[in-house]
A and B are shown apart, each in its own frame.
Chain A
Amino acid sequence: MIQYLTNNHVIVWQALQEHLYLALLPILFGFAIALPLGYLAVRFTWLYHPLINTFGVLYSIPSLALFVFLPVILGTKVLSPVNVVVALTIYTVALLARTVADGLRAVDPVVVQAATAMGYRRTRRLVDVELPIALPVILAGLRVATVSNISLVSVGSLIGIGGLGQLFTRGFQLFYLEPILIGVILSVVLAGIADLIIVLVQRAVTPWTRAA
């Protein structure tokens, strides 16, 4: 295995980078979209159920199906990484919009009212009070989304899009175990490290959750 790594480190390294990129870009986009959506679902109560149900349905579409059908809808090439990014962004939004909404809804209304009574206007109250209090829930959702994205990127390589999954396909084609093993190990390690980073960030930014 070491042998394989030293001979192919360029390929492996590139696959790792692609994998990271394909998994994390959707997290960034997804989070940016999910935040306002989740907020709207709380601000306008009637939006909550329609939005949550829609995302529930989106989330249940098998990833392979999405990878194959997106080019038809988007007009992209079948092998374009855009398909993976868009598909994973959809999953991320579906997951995080709900967590953001649920996190905000779980903020004690008494605390929100106290903030209002002290003279917070809506936007600053959201930024200074509601979001920070919802942060533990939101970050928990972010962990799930990140780990699941990292594993879903590998599915993309079944249809020939980059990432560590490439190593699987390579191994299968050559009837060769090493690249498969390396691909599996690296993607698990990647998921573990990403998860750990989020946990550490969470500990740093929400010290109060450990106060009680």
Chain B
Amino acid sequence: MITFEDVVKVYPGGTTAVDHLNLELPTGKITVLVGPSGCGKTTSLRMINRMVTPTSGRILVDGADVSQQNEARLRRSIGYVIQHAGLFPHRTVLDNVATVPVLLGQTRRAAREAALGLLERVGLSAEFAKRYPAQLSGGQQQRVGVARALAADPPIMLMDEPFSAVDPVVRAQLQAEFLRLQQDLGKTIAMVTHDIDEAIKLGDHVAVFRTGGRLAQFATPRELLAEPADDFVASFVGRDRGLRSLSFDSAAELPVRPVDGIDLDDSGRPLGLPGVFTKDDSLRVVTDLVISSPGGIAVRVGPDGAADGLVSHHDLADYLASRRS
């Protein structure tokens, strides 16, 4: 757990970057710090590994004040990923990844061997190991950056806009892989982004900052969408938060009508539809299907892929209305 206790950071020029921040980042979870540019996200993040020194207040990692710990040793126990990866241009991909284990005293050979396994974990084949960073695409560099941060298996990861320098397609891919990786690893992660969609997608918790370095709301993504603390958060979350909040609601309880009037193959699978949903999908998926399918009907399928129910847009509207009351 990472705890901010009444932390203030005023830079020498007089800018208050972080203003009396109290925050708890739970162990093993992803906490996303989000907010407009200049609201103190990076500053907050960098106070955790002592790259920035707070003006007042304390930061604790598992109850221990970071300011009392040896700087270099603290940093080696905290993974750090930044926007453009910040890879060492003079080292091969493999040696970039092996950096922290070597700093910790591992032999280069052992560190490289472990690094090779890590590369695979972040989706890079062994052929990349001998390349230099300049020979990689932005997305590949970012993967190496993540592997490098993971190399010493630190319990904590700090990530400053790790996916914002790549195009939307690659970003979505990296985000999905990141979530899968986190499911295995269960690191305590503090991630900075200015993209609220990314925050909602990746965060177990989201801390919304407002300009001036003040915390506006700390909540789960679902709470954030359903009950923004104030107008600032509501407008930051966006006007379509109602629709987006549906992605946190399961379609399991959604009543369906018997299957009728659609084309099925021999084993009962629907034919010629843009998509179908299951009980595990969210209401957002159902809404999207209802809107995009020609007849305004979403088809539910069972585990075997056979259609087992239909939802019309009237049904969906009634269900949504009934939930609200």
Which A residues contact B (CB, under 8 angstroms)? 108, 110-111, 113-121, 124, 129, 132-133, 135, 206-208, 211-212
Report yes or no: A133 in contact with B89, Cβ–Cβ below 8 A. yes
Most chain A CB atoms below 10 A, which of B46, B74, B90, B158: B90
Interface pair A133/B90, CB less than 8 Å apart = yes
**B86 near A113 (CB under 8 angstroms)?**
yes
Known contacts being A110-B82, A113-B51, is A208 close to B75, with CB within 8 Å? Answer: no
How far does the alpha carbon of A113 sit from the alpha carbon of B80 in the complex, in Å? 10
Q: Besides the contacts A118-B103, A119-B74, A119-B100, what 5 more A-B pairs have beta carbons closer than 8 Å?
A: A111-B87, A117-B80, A118-B80, A132-B90, A133-B89
What is the CB-to-nearest-CB distance from B111 to chain A, in angstroms, rounded to a whole number? 13
Q: A114 touching B80 by the CB < 8 A rule?
A: yes
Residues of B whose CB lies within 8 Å of any CB of A are 46, 49, 51, 72-76, 80, 82, 84, 86-91, 99-100, 103, 131-132, 134-135, 148, 158
Please judge, given known A-B contacts A110-B82, A111-B86, A208-B90, whether A118 and B99 are in contact too, CB under 8 Å. Answer: yes
On whether the beta carbons of A206 and B99 are closer than 8 Å, the reply is: no
Chain B residues, Cβ within 8 Å of A116: 51, 75
The answer to whether B134 touches A208 (Cβ under 8 A) is yes
Given A119-B100, A208-B132, A211-B131, A110-B84 contact (CB < 8 Å): yes
Give the residues in chain A near B103, CB-CB below 8 Å: 118-120, 124
Query: Which of A121, A124, A207 has the most chain B CB within a 10 Å cutoff?
Result: A121
In the assembled complex, how far is the CB of residue B259 from the closest CB belonging to chain A, in whole angstroms?
57
- Bound CA–CA A21/B88 (angstroms): 38
B92 CB to closest chain A CB (Å) equals 8
In the complex, chain A residues whose CB is within 8 Å of the CB of B87: 111, 114
B134 in contact with A212 (CB, 8 Å):
yes
Q: Which residue of A lies closest to B80 (CB)?
A: A117
Contacts of B88 in A (CB 8 A): 111, 114-115, 129, 133
**Whole-angstrom CA separation of A129 from B99 in the bound complex:** 11
Complex CA distance for A129 and B103, rounded to whole angstroms = 12
A121 to B75, CA, bound (A): 10
| Structural contact, B134 and A118, CB atoms closer than 8 A | no
A190 to B82, CA, bound (A): 48
Task: Report yes or no: B89 in contact with A117, Cβ–Cβ below 8 A.
Answer: no
User: Which residue of chain B has the shortest Cβ distance to A121 in the bound complex?
Assistant: B72
Give the docked Cα–Cα distance between A111 and B72 (Å): 16
- Assuming the contacts A119-B75, A133-B89, asked whether A114 and B135 have C-beta atoms less than 8 A apart, the reply is no
Least distance between B322 CB and chain A CB atoms (Å): 51
Instruction: Tell me the minimal C-beta distance from B178 to chain A in angstroms.
Output: 19
- Cβ–Cβ contact B75 & A110, under 8 A: no
Q: Residue B76 contacts which of A114, A118, A208 (CB distance < 8 angstroms)?
A: A118
Residues of B within 8 A of A108 (CB): 86, 89
| Chain B hits for A132, CB < 8 A | 90
B134 & A114 in contact (Cβ 8 Å cutoff) = no
For the complex, what is the distance from the CA of A117 to the CA of B99, rounded to whole Å? 12
Inter-chain contact A212/B99, CB cutoff 8 Å: no
- CB pair B90–A118 under 8 Å, yes or no, is no
Known contacts being A117-B49, A118-B99, is A211 close to B84, with CB within 8 Å? no
- Contact between A120 and B72, CB atoms less than 8 A apart: yes
| Bound CA span A105–B116, Å | 33
Beta-carbon contact of B135 and A211 below 8 Å: yes
Complex Cα spacing A35 to B53, Å? 31
The docked-state distance in angstroms from the alpha carbon of A120 to that of B132 is 21
- Give the residue of A114, A133, A135, A212 whose beta carbon is less than 8 angstroms from that of B82: A114
A208: chain B residues at CB < 8 Å are 89-91, 132, 134
A118 touches B132 (CB 8 A): no
Name the A residues within 8 Å of B90 (CB-CB): 129, 132-133, 135, 206, 208
A197 vs chain B, min Cβ distance (A): 21
**A212: chain B residues within 8 A (beta carbon):** 132, 134-135
Closest to B79 in A: A118
Q: CB < 8 Å: which of B74, B99, B134, B148 contacts A211? A: B134
Cβ contact within 8 Å between A119 and B51: no
Residues of the A chain whose Cβ atoms lie less than 8 Å from the Cβ of B86: 108, 110-111, 113-114
The residue in chain A whose Cβ has the minimal distance to the Cβ of B145 is: A114
